[in-house]
Amino acid sequence: MNKQTLFVSLTTAVMLCACQSSKVKISGRFVGNDAKNVYLEQVLPLTQSVIDSAVLDKEGNYRFELKGVTKTPSLYNIIYNGERIPLFLAGGDRLTLNSVGSVVRNYTVDGSKESELLRQFYQAFVTGAQQLDNIAAQFAKTDLSEDVRKALVKEYTAEYYRIRREQLRFIIENKTSLAAVYALYQRLPGDTYLFNGDSDVVYFRTVAEALEQSYPDSPYLQSLLGEIARMDARISLSSQITEAGYPDLEMSDIYGKKIRLSSLAGKVVLIDFWSAELGNSNTLNAELKELYKKYADAPTSFEVYQVAVDTSKPVWITAVQEQQLPWISVSDLRGRASSSLGLYNVQKLPANFLIDKEGTIVAKDIYGKSLEQKLDELTK
């Protein structure tokens, strides 16, 4: 629809739009890469698409101009050499973005407070995520000793929590900015959200309350409020006790398939909490494999629903595959922030709960001969 038609049909709306929007100019220079094309991508709460492109001149300069950009900042990406640089742009911005060599690590931005805050977050986050990728890649080596593997697990876990602490500090210190919303939704290698556990809803609320004052009309605020509502609903659902009499769980296995604990109703089930990163359950897993094999054809079916209290997807998957664990292995990759620990009041690892075919928890932290004797009784 052109502006003239819109003016004729919706004069008032156009006047309001004209007051709240303006041009945005983006210019800068990229040096040190062979790529010649630069792309501008618009990011909306549910979609994103390339809306413009430019060709670098012989000095590496480029320029974009947008019209009708609202005064409330919106998210865009500059894409160059296969890398994305996120920007929050508002009507009237005159922004300069330059980079030499490594696009994301070295870029600078001037002319937009929100985009500068976003740079501070994004460059630190990308550096940390790449470090996690480097550590995870070492697990693919086949000649790792147990000591080296444990050292890598310790290094990965320490880096993960360092990133989380730093980004949480950024979010709290900049809670009135849209950059804080962007930080809340970032993923780490293995598709792990930094902030997604039920206990993290407090951070979403903190930012939402601040944005209601600084950017009350932002569509990103509405998306954030929607996410809070979904998290509240999930917390409510997770805290419900099933008719069988135990807190239900739903987590993803190593292939990404969600498996609900209550789907095993009618079976004798061992809920087992462990950590591949801690590496202190290998012997117990070996013993449990023998019991799992023994009761495979029992009159009453026996199943293990094993919850990995980990943050590293590569470490967890490697442990499951190397130990050839035959049962249901799931995780939410939230580590100690997993809501499952609170639902079952797990204070230490490993821990387990034995549920009979009627859905009653009949034993806790039961291992070895004691577990075998109990299974003899329950699986008859």
Q: What is the pLDDT of residue 21?
A: 57
* Same domain for 138 and 183: yes
CA 56-57-60 angle, to 5 degrees, is 65
pLDDT at 15 over 80: no
* Same domain for 187 and 135: yes
Give 53-64 pLDDT, tens digit per residue: 999 999 999 999
Last residue of a domain, one of 239, 272, 296: 239
Closest among 189, 190, 131 to 155, alpha carbons compared? 131
Q: Are 55 and 198 in contact, with CB atoms under 8 Å apart?
A: no
CATH assignment of the domain containing 52: 2.60.40.1120
3-class DSSP state for residue 301?
Answer: coil
CATH assignment of the domain containing 357: 3.40.30.10
Count CB-CB contacts under 10 A for residue 267.
19
* Same domain for 271 and 361: yes
Q: Are 68 and 52 in contact, with CB atoms under 8 Å apart?
A: no
pLDDT at 17 over 60: no
Give 69-117 pLDDT, tens digit per residue: 988 999 999 999 999 999 999 999 999 999 998 899 999 999 999 999 9
Q: Is residue 144 one of the residues assigned to a domain?
A: yes
Q: What is the dihedral of CA 171, 172, 177, 183, to 10 degrees?
A: 10
Q: How many domains does the chain have?
A: 3
- Secondary structure (DSSP) of 102-166: SHHHH-EEES-HHHHHHHHHHHHHHHHHHHHHHHHHHTT-TT--HHHHHHHHHHHHHHHHHHHHH
* Strand pairing category for 94-100 and 21-31: parallel
- For residue 195, the 8-state DSSP code is S
* Strand pairing category for 302-308 and 268-274: parallel
Q: Are 183 and 171 in contact, with CB atoms under 8 Å apart?
A: yes
Last residue of a domain, one of 196, 219, 239: 239
* Same domain for 93 and 20: yes
Q: What is the pLDDT of residue 59?
A: 94
pLDDT at 35 over 90: yes
Q: Which domain holds residue 171?
A: 112-239
Q: Is residue 354 one of the residues assigned to a domain?
A: yes
* Same domain for 327 and 221: no
Angstrom distance (rounded) from CA 129 to CA 267: 41
Whether this model's pTM surpasses 0.75: no
Give 225-277 pLDDT, tens digit per residue: 888 887 776 666 555 544 446 888 999 999 889 999 999 999 999 999 999 98
Report residue 5's pLDDT band, with 50, 70 and 90 as the boundaries. Answer: very low
**How far is the CA of 94 from the CAs of 65, 215, 360, 379, in angstroms?**
9, 20, 65, 72
Average pLDDT rounded to a whole number, residues 109-137: 92
pLDDT at 30 over 50: yes
Last residue of a domain, one of 68, 101, 134: 101
* Same domain for 87 and 134: no
pLDDT > 90 fraction of the chain, expressed in percent and rounded: 54
Burial degree of 319 (CB within 10 A; 0-12, 13-18, 19+): buried
Angstrom distance (rounded) from CA 65 to CA 50: 14
Q: Where are the alpha helices (DSSP H) in 139-296?
A: 146-173, 178-184, 201-214, 219-239, 282-294
Q: Is residue 129 one of the residues assigned to a domain?
A: yes
Q: Are 305 and 328 in contact, with CB atoms under 8 Å apart?
A: yes
Instruction: List the structure tokens of 79.
Output: 């894409």
> 3-state DSSP helix/strand/coil percent for the chain, to nearest 5?
45, 25, 30
Instruction: List the structure tokens of 165.
Output: 């602490």
Q: Is residue 10 one of the residues assigned to a domain?
A: no
**In this predicted structure, which of 45-49, 170-174, 247-251, 267-271 has the lowest mean pLDDT?**
45-49
* Same domain for 177 and 139: yes
Q: Is residue 8 one of the residues assigned to a domain?
A: no
* Same domain for 144 and 82: no
Q: Is residue 154 one of the residues assigned to a domain?
A: yes
Rg (CA), the chain: 26
* Same domain for 324 and 254: yes
Q: Is residue 106 one of the residues assigned to a domain?
A: no
Report residue 150's pLDDT band, with 50, 70 and 90 as the boundaries. Answer: confident
Give 323-349 pLDDT, tens digit per residue: 999 999 999 988 877 888 878 888 788
Angstrom distance (rounded) from CA 122 to CA 166: 12
* Same domain for 145 and 27: no
Closest among 207, 193, 204, 200 to 228, alpha carbons compared? 204
* Same domain for 268 and 355: yes
Average pLDDT rounded to a whole number, residues 207-235: 85
Those residues with Cβ within 8 angstroms of residue 238's Cβ, 6 or more apart along the chain or in another chain = 198, 247, 248, 249, 250, 339, 343
3-class DSSP state for residue 377?
Answer: helix
* Same domain for 276 and 189: no
